């Protein structure tokens, strides 16, 4: 089955700097790669996702890049703010015929220092 | 208001006492799933359901049961809970009609002593 590795497990950045979180996946058939943000004591919420037919997607200060050949994808947060502090999870799955479970990475705790 | 609800939100129980955690959604989503979240292990999928009467095992199904008799409900059953099932549990729902986003419930914190 699918296996997702996420690095780093913790990340501290100064406010205004950029943060990058990287994930690798094992199943070359996976075609959907979401990123979820979980604030302390709250439920995970989708912040951005990308499908395998796209190499990059951007939404204001966050962007995700996908390299299907290398089987890795990354989350980029620019101009970080204290409210970006949270745990971020990447995930991978195959959606379509023969859907498979969404497999999550172990998470990255991002701390933005004011 | 579109929402996913879980009950109970907090539960302390003893080893071997059967329990059920309910999950209900009002978004008419086909897909429902259960995850457990443990420190350092992230979110691990227990079971998922693509539609009514269709359920499949996730990564960590041992010790759990589910059923999907109606679209809106997807209860998680622990027939004989053990301390290693102490965890934070999330139900999630989704549809592939427009996107693959999953909407998580508020979570249920379970402690088995």
Average pLDDT over residues A7-32: 96
Q: Which residues of A touch B93 (CB under 8 A)?
A: none
Looking at residue A97, its pLDDT comes to 58
Please check the confidence at residue A96 and state whether its pLDDT lies above 80. no
Tokens of B96: 């592939």
B102 exposure class (CB count in 10 Å sphere: 0-12, 13-18, 19+):
buried
Is the Cβ–Cβ distance between A37 and A86 less than 8 Å?
Answer: yes
Of A73-77, B60-64, B96-100, the one with minimum mean pLDDT is B96-100
**Which is it for strands B108-112 and B10-13: parallel, antiparallel or unpaired?**
parallel
In 10 A of CB A96, how many CB atoms? Answer: 12
Reported as a pLDDT band with limits 50, 70 and 90, residue A73 is very high
SS3 content of chain A, % helix, strand, coil (to 5): 5, 55, 45
8 Å CB contact of A103 and B45: yes
Q: Is A8 on the interface with B (CB under 8 A)?
A: no
| Residues in CB range of B1: below 8 A, 6 or more apart | none
8 Å CB contact of A106 and B104: no
Q: Which residues of A touch B33 (CB under 8 A)?
A: 101-102
Average pLDDT over residues A89-100: 77
Chain A neighbours among B 20-49 (CB < 8 Å)?
31, 33, 35, 40-45, 48
- What is the distance in angstroms between the Cα of A104 and the nearest Cα belonging to chain B? 6
Tokens of A112: 């933005």
Coil vs helix vs strand at A25: strand
């Amino acid at each position: 089955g699918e296996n997702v590795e996420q690095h780093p497990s913790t990340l501290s950045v100064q406010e205004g700097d950029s943060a990058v979180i990287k994930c690798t996946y094992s199943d070359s058939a996976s075609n959907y790669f979401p990123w979820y943000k979980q604030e302390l004591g709250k439920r995970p919420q989708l912040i951005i996702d990308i499908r395998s037919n796209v190499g990059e997607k951007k939404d204001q200060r966050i962007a995700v890049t996908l390299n299907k050949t290398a089987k890795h994808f990354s989350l980029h947060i620019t101009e970080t703010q204290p409210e970006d502090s949270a745990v971020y999870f990447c995930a991978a799955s195959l959606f379509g015929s023969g859907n498979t479970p969404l497999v999550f990475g172990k998470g990255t705790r991002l701390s933005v220092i004011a | 208001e579109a929402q996913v609800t879980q009950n109970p939100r907090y539960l302390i129980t003893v080893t071997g006492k059967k329990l059920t955690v309910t999950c209900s959604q009002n978004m008419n989503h086909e897909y429902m799933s259960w995850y457990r979240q443990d420190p350092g292990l992230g979110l691990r999928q227990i079971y998922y359901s693509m539609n009514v009467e269709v359920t499949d095992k996730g990564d960590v199904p041992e010790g759990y049961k589910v059923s999907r008799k109606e679209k809106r409900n997807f209860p998680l059953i622990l027939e004989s809970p053990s301390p290693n099932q102490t965890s934070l549990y999330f139900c999630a729902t989704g549809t592939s009609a427009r996107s693959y986003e999953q909407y998580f419930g508020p979570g249920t914190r379970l402690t088995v002593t």
